[in-house]
Amino acid sequence: MPNSYGNFIAKQVRTGIARVGPDVWVRLVAQGSMPVPGRQVIEIQAKGGGALCIDYTNIDEHGNFTAPTNSGQGSKIIPAGTIKGEPLSDKVMLWGRHTAKVASTHGGMKVIVTEYT
């Protein structure tokens, strides 16, 4: 019944850790290098010092994802400790990159990634 009204109910969940540094964009997926097939929702929690820049890319015609080329200045910034959920299919890759904040001494952070299908 809930599906007839457009409400999503997760059938499978996969959780993992992505280690994110300051110099390169990292794929935010629960395991491996690709999103869970059939993913409909992703949830992330940034843990550590500083903040998390996030950006998105679409899958190309060859089934690959290309990393963002920006330095994070035009990206969304998620403060450490924040939990963020988004309705993203497996055709969109979520990328993360650490950014230092005032008084932050860490060179990276862990991101808990949960993908729902």
For residue 69, what are the contacts with CB-CB under 8 A and spacing of at least 6? Answer: none
Looking at this protein, which amino acid is placed at residue 40? Q
Q: What does the pLDDT read at residue 6? A: 66
Among the CATH numbers 2.60.120.10, 3.30.450.40, 1.10.10.1590, 1.10.3720.10, which is that of 10-116?
A: 2.60.120.10
Look at residue 91 and tell me whether its pLDDT is greater than 80.
Answer: yes
pLDDT in tens, 32-80: 999 999 999 999 999 988 899 999 999 999 999 999 988 878 899 999 9
Name the residue ranges covered by the structural domains of the chain. Answer: 10-116
The 10s digit of each residue's pLDDT in 18-37 is 999 988 999 999 999 999 99
φ/ψ (deg, to 5) at 60: -90, 180
